[in-house]
Structure 1
């Protein structure tokens, strides 16, 4: 595992079975907003777009910001709560993007030296607009079109950085 891996530092404390599971499961089961996909399938790398859209749907579920605040507040007392939240929340999306990028890299349709870093960059571009401002700004609520645009731009950044048309090798 590389130093910038989102898993770095996790797994060092034993997790209590079920702790944090019920709150996270309740948040995941609530209704999800729908976003219309504006991503073009012009290139293979653009197929990462639906993963970005699903990540937006996770981050904007009702109660998700409140759940993050609770987890962050209780982290000093219950570190396993944060680990459980991470493993059931972000990690499935991260793994999906990383596996997709691994496949594209193996097929030769993208050039990536570090798919973990690339997956982190992609999801970070999305969450830095869609989610993290909600932690400090109670009224932060971008509309669906703005969130779809952020995903489109994250895909374009990935193509610019990792697409074969943009490599010099």
Structure 2
């Protein structure tokens, strides 16, 4: 992943291809879930794709990137759970009906 980030400027199509294949299943499932919640009138989301990226970003910013870039060790289960709960709370503050 570090090489991909470093070389993404020189090979943008490769970076796009790898990233879209690797994150697509999870993103698609999350988007589908959000669409269901919108239909059930539990969430109000005008742009599902943006909201999905926002939610993923809320967790990855703290849990994934510092480890991936070598700035910190893998967070404990308790830290992961706390980050996820805070992401959910923040997300629902914006989108919950």
Same fold by TM (over 0.5)? Answer: yes
Partner secondary structure for residue 112 of structure 1: coil
**Equivalent in the alignment of 2:45:** 112
Partner secondary structure for residue 110 of structure 1: coil
**Equivalent in the alignment of 1:97:** 30
Superposed displacement of residue 104, structure 1: 0.9
**Equivalent in the alignment of 1:124:** 57
Gaps of 5+ in 1: 1-67, 165-169
Larger Rg computed on CA atoms: 1
What TM-score, normalized by structure 1, do the two folds share?
Answer: 0.51
**C-alpha distance in 2, partners of 1:78/1:159?**
37
Gaps of 5+ in 2: none
**Equivalent in the alignment of 1:75:** 8
RMSD: 1.7
CA offset digits 1:91-134 (Å, max 9, x no partner): 22222211211111112121112212211111000000011112
**Equivalent in the alignment of 1:86:** 19
Which aligned runs of 4 or more in structure 1 are off by greater than 4 angstroms?
Answer: none
**C-alpha distance in 1, partners of 2:83/2:22?**
20
Structure with greater proportional helix content = 2
How many residues end up aligned between the 2 structures?
A: 96
